[in-house]
Amino acid sequence: MSKRVYVTGIGVVCAIGNNVDETLTSLLAEKSGIGEITLFSSIHKGILPLAEVKLTTNQLLDEIGHKGAKNLTRTALLGIKAAKEALGSSGITDIQKHRTGLVSATTVGGMDLSENFYAEFLESPQKGRMINIVNHDCADSTERIASNLHITDFVTTISTACSSSVNAIMFGSNLIKSGQLDRVLVGGNDALTRFTLNGFNTLMILDKNGCHPFDEHRAGLTLGEGAAFLVLESEEIVHKEQKKILAEILGYGNANDAFHQTASSPDGTGAFLAMSKALKMSGLKPAEIDYINVHGTGTENNDLSEGIAMERIFGDQVPPFSSTKAFTGHTLGAAGAVEAVISILSIRNRVIFPNLNFSTPMKELKIQPVRKTIRNIELRHILSNSFGFGGNNSSVILSKV
């Protein structure tokens, strides 16, 4: 059984890049992916900004070699693209060589097609194209990825709102540690949907000017879309095959805020517990965390609760932190994996990416996020937070090897 779990491959597609290299370029250039709606179809176009992946669904189909296919959701296409990149980055060519699993995460699954189905179906029960509804459930995109990559040993999907893909990283790590699998592709995918956009809009937590996390005048989040996957491998494989290690999954924690379905507790209980558990598992002292990639959605409630929890854990020594959601938007089920990839890019490139759009510190907090890119900085341990509706809070520690 493997006591250690390593990351040997990464893949991402999000508003700031169609792959890892493009994403890194945008991060280094401090270039946000948030903007006016261009591809997505909604009455909110011109009013609410979004962080769209800059590829049409047809372009995505071309890229993954399924030109013209009608039965693939945008969620699945994003997932397949990022998962393929991750496998390639890990140098995996023979999937059957080791016991391989896929643990994916999503919050709305194939909703990008099923919401089209319903409009017609509600006119008449005989109406609506079946191809738009049969991919509705959360497992669909996961199974499409698995089929595409020939992964059969273990396949599952997790949905814990905005913390989904950190829980995928945790579960995948446990599958390796318990000896059930040798390697696992973990991550998440979510496409933009009118369902989520309108849902968040009724809660009045979407910032019309684009999110500015941890700012005194923050006015909500900005939705994004994307997918990210990490290849996790056991230490046995990594040593035997002398694989290049991108990072180690040193610790993780999952806790529930148990306060309110959509609001975080004022003292940040869930966030505090998730971070504390991750630290405990890693064996690190709080002072050994070099940077925190915060959840930092930009909502009044999340940032305050998360900030208080960080001050409770780190006291006067809160490490440099930033939310990268002003780059990528909030990619929901993919967010934890997108930010794990960004954290790995930070470690490997010795750089802390800034918290864009920040100007005024929050009056309730003593801390404020990193405003400008910090280069040439040794980052040994990064804590990445993902907190969700329902108080589902999870944190993961990614370490340099």
Partner 1 sequence: MPYINGIGLISPQKTVDTHEFLTEIMEYQADFLKCIEPVYKKYIDPIQSRRMSRLIKMGIASAKISLMDAGCDMPDAIITGTGLGSVEETEKILGEISKDEKFLNPTPFIQSTYNTISSQIAIQLKCHNYNSTYVHRNFSFENGLLDALMLMEEEMAQNILVGGIDEMTFNHLQIIRRVGQWKKEPVNNLKVREYQTPGALAGEGAAFFTLGKEKTAESYAELLDVLTLFDIEQTTSIPDVIERFLEKNNLSRPNIDLLILGVNGDIQYDPVYYQMSNDFFPGVPQAWFKHLCGEYYTATGFALYAAANILKRREYPPIMQLNDLQPSSWKNILIYNQLRNINHALMLVRAIS
The residues of the shown chain that bind partner 1, judged by CB under 8 A, are 42-44, 106-107, 109, 114-115, 117-119, 121-122, 125, 128, 130, 133-134, 137-139, 142-143, 146-147, 150-161, 167, 171, 174-175, 177-178, 180, 194-195, 198-203, 254-262, 269-270, 273, 388-392
* Cβ neighbour number for residue 26 with a 10 Å cutoff: 19
174 vs 349 by CB, closer to partner 1:
174
Q: Look up residue 251 and give its two tokens.
A: 């610790």
136 is an active site residue? no
Residue 264 CA neighbour count, 13 Å, CB half: 29
* Cβ neighbour number for residue 260 with a 10 Å cutoff: 12
- Supply the minimum distance, in Å, between the C-beta of residue 151 and partner 1: 8
- Supply the minimum distance, in Å, between the C-beta of residue 229 and partner 1: 16
272 vs 353 by CB, closer to partner 1:
272
56 vs 147 by CB, closer to partner 1:
147
- Supply the minimum distance, in Å, between the C-beta of residue 147 and partner 1: 5
223 vs 273 by CB, closer to partner 1:
273
211 is an active site residue? no
| Cβ-contact 79, 158 below 8 angstroms | no
Pick from 287, 270, 290: nearest CA to 382: 290
The one catalytic residue in 14, 136, 138, 330 is 330
The one catalytic residue in 162, 211, 212, 381 is 162
The one catalytic residue in 136, 212, 295, 381 is 295
14 is an active site residue? no
DSSP category for residue 351: E
- Supply the minimum distance, in Å, between the C-beta of residue 309 and partner 1: 13
> Reduced to 3 states, what is the DSSP secondary structure of residue 122?
coil
Question: Burial code of 184-201, b = ≥16 C-beta within 10 A, e = fewer?
Answer: bbbbbbbbbbbebbeebb
Integer distance in angstroms from the first to the last C-alpha of the chain?
A: 20
| Cβ-contact 370, 352 below 8 angstroms | yes
Give catalytic residue positions: 162, 295, 330
